[in-house]
A = this chain, B = another copy of it.
Amino acid sequence: MAQNYSFQYFTVQFPPENPYVAHVEINRAEKMNAFFEAMWLELRQVFAQLSEDSAVRAIVLSGAGEKAFTTGLDVKAASQGPLVGKADHDPARKAVQLRRHVAEFQDCISAIERCEKPVIVAMHGFSLGLAIDLSTAADIRLCSTDVRFAVKEVDIGLAADIGTLSRLPKVVGNFGWVKEVSLSARIFGAEEALRVGFVNAVYENREALIAAALKLATLIAMKSPVAVQGTKEILNWSRDHSVQDGLRYTGVWNSAALQTSDVSAALLSAMQKRTPTFEKL
């Protein structure tokens, strides 16, 4: 499948030294990668396409420019959008408009979670508001030492509604900390993020960060894609279900997945101490 990745607000690259890895970058550095509606609609397209592209087995998401992964919602755009409404309208009808707007926005960000391939987010500089929504929809979070995180939404008068409040408590086991940063909107840095488990590792600067993210993506991309994609799917399912339901779903999933020739290939390669190669998926 030959895919065309020409987007307006995102760059998608396939570094030759990282086979099967796609590197997506938010490409609005001049505005610190702040988002407006056209951007999140495009984000959904990017990840929907990567999800079904058999040339891709792992994805890195980062932000262009030195200053920020993203500062979140573009305040200027937001102040003209549906959030700042006209008081004279029927509140129930306005609620319908807002609900549709939020649902669409959520759906765009959830494209990262729905993407069948693992997504590693590499965050540096300002990583505020939507940065947390985005990154909790991904699988693995990495950052550089200069990162400045905040669940910023209460500071603009709203409860974060694009995923943070639903996903952050399932990504970080420390519920008191989740409450504190969500209620206070205070900035937290790399060290704290590592300590509570919000990020997996910290790197000294943006360059090292992205290199490490690509390296980890490459490591994952070398595994059987049947095994990797099944692992992502089953872990996400299990997060939301009882252990019993998790076990049963796993059994049904693997009743097809275990029929792959990748198992023989992997076992054989292991015995012969060589790197296995796997058919596209």
Q: From the candidates B83, B163, B239, B256, name the one contacting A256 in the complex (CB within 8 A).
A: B256
**Which chain B residue shows the least CB distance to A141?**
B176
Residues in B whose Cβ lies below 8 Å from that of A116: 96
Selected from B165, B198, B199, B254, the residue in CB contact (under 8 A) with A161 is: B254
SS class, residues of chain A in contact with chain B: helix
Q: Smallest distance from the beta carbon of A85 to chain B beta carbons, Å?
A: 6
Bound CA–CA A92/B118 (angstroms): 18
* A: number of interface residues (CB 8 Å): 115
Residues of B within 8 A of A95 (CB): 255-257, 259
Q: A165-B234, A173-B172 are in contact. Are A98 and B261 (CB under 8 A)?
A: no
- Count the copies: 6
The yes or no answer to A42 lying at the interface (CB within 8 A) is: no
Would you call B256 and A156 a contact (CB within 8 A)? no
Residue of B nearest to A173 (CB): B173
Mask of A132-157 contacts with B, CB within 8 angstroms, 1/0: 00000001110000000000011111
Binding site for B on A (CB under 8 A): 52, 75, 78-79, 82-85, 87, 90-96, 98-100, 102-103, 106, 110, 113, 116, 118, 139-141, 153-161, 163, 165-167, 169-180, 182-186, 196-200, 216, 219-220, 223-224, 226-235, 238-244, 246-267, 270-271, 276, 278-281
